[in-house]
Chain A
Amino acid sequence: MPARVVTLQIDGRDVTARDDQMLIEVARESDIRIPKLCYVSGLSSYGGCRMCLVEVEGTSKLLAACTTAVTEGMQVRTVTPRLTEYRRMILEMLFAERNHVCSVCVSNGHCDMQWLAQHLGIDHIRFPYVYPNLPVDASHDRFVLDQNRCILCTRCVRVCQEIEGAHTWDVMGRGAQSLVITDLAQPWGESESCTSCGKCVQVCPTGALSEKGRSVAEMSKRREFLPYLTMMRGETGNE
């Protein structure tokens, strides 16, 4: 079925879009930046971080902009006091969940999570820190996985499966015990499926995945390849 054109309102602005587009994408095209952590343009939507929850007129439920298709006449609010408070709390819980020590992180200054915290005006964490004891996997020649900084957004899992086609990454365990793993929880360096392409490192929003040899604040990520690759393959952003 060919996509139809719909008009909707985001934060009071009239916007036109195709009806197979997701809200987050449409908002972005109009330069309305909805906070996000797990969503990255060019990969399938995951809907896990809940940062992009928005209010839509006519429904009491909050909807994730990355998994909600636009519809005709939709009225969307992306910033309200309630949404901001929810986003703050969720992000604070994320900081408390693992050992995110920005000051000594390779991604200090280049981190989506750190940036979002600043953007949301978070100046301290109201929840007690959990301080779990988590491993670091430095077995790969070129890359390092630090579980202490992982937020389980699964960008690495998706890029590896959907773009590289290797499916080296996956998630094991449940709840707060979940961990991203390579192959069947084998050391990354011994992975037979990993092609060492490094896409996972580039899409990782935090310092969980980094290149070896980078010191504090030296790990900036290059994500430009992703929309390019996706476009070259003739896929739309959210299939």
Chain B
Amino acid sequence: MNERKPTLATVWLDGCSGCHMSFLDIDERLLELAQKVDLVYSPLVDRKDFPELVDITLVEGAVSNEEDLKKIKKVRAHTNVLVSLGDCAVTSNIPGMRNPFGVRSIIDRAYVDTVAIPRPAPSTVIPRLLDRVRPVHEVVPVDVFVPGCPPSADAIYKVLSDLIAGHKPDGKSNLRFGA
């Protein structure tokens, strides 16, 4: 490593923020990480635009709507090592549970069938849902996968430490789908 610290970004697509919570659960080791890495973009920091080039980006959440799609493509184009963090990003998980039913039927369920005075589903302001929720790697190439719902703080810490040290995680970690 030269004197420039590697940069880190985190993004949040269709997920519950649990993976970000788990990230914060690294607790006091966050201080240690902060010594080694610059957090340049995240829902946790106040910056509007994704930087020109980030060394490591953690992605939480599946690709569910047009905004997610646009965001992840941009993130991919400006990231060296893209990390799918958590089951939603890796498998589509809970957001993907709508896929068997089709987007029309879930919108009807939310905005028509279950309300007293049906109104058309919102089509402006809120990004349009994609036909199918997809895991991140089905949309853009992903370099590292960290499954788990959420991945444990230890797992996230280990993966980040490895990446910051400049090598790819060995894949032999105790990561698994689900918990």
Q: Interface on A for B, CB 8 Å cutoff?
A: 95, 99-105, 108-109, 111, 114-115, 117-118, 121, 123-125, 128-129, 131-134, 217
Contact = CB atoms under 8 A, between A and B. Distances in A.
B105 to A, nearest CB: 10
A100 B99 CA distance: 13
Question: Which of A118, A124, A128, A131 lies at the interface centre, i.e. has the most chain B CB atoms within 10 A of its CB?
Answer: A124
A109 B138 contact: no
B71 to A, nearest CB: 20
Nearest to B91: A125
A99 B179 CA distance: 17
Contact of A131 (B84, B90, B96, B176): B96
Interface in B141-179: 142, 145-147, 149, 171-172, 174-179
A131 B133 CA distance: 10
Contact of A99 (B90, B100, B145, B149): B100
B138 A128 contact: yes
Contacts, number: 75
B179 A131 contact: no
A123 B96 contact: no
Contacts of A131: 96, 99-100, 132
Closest 8 CB pairs of A and B: A102-B178, A103-B149, A131-B99, A133-B100, A118-B176, A123-B145, A102-B177, A124-B145
Nearest to A126: B137
A133 B102 CA distance: 9
Contacts of B171: 121, 123
Given A103-B149, A124-B135, 6 more contacts: A101-B97, A103-B179, A118-B174, A123-B145, A129-B135, A131-B132
Contact of B175 (A111, A118, A133): A118
B7 interface: no
Contact of B94 (A103, A111, A132): A103
A109 B91 CA distance: 17
Contacts of B175: 118, 123
B60 interface: no
Contacts of B142: 124
B10 interface: no
21 contacts: A99-B99, A101-B91, A101-B93, A102-B176, A102-B179, A103-B87, A103-B93, A103-B94, A108-B179, A109-B179, A115-B176, A118-B174, A118-B175, A118-B176, A121-B171, A123-B146, A124-B137, A124-B145, A125-B91, A129-B92, A133-B101
B100 A134 contact: yes
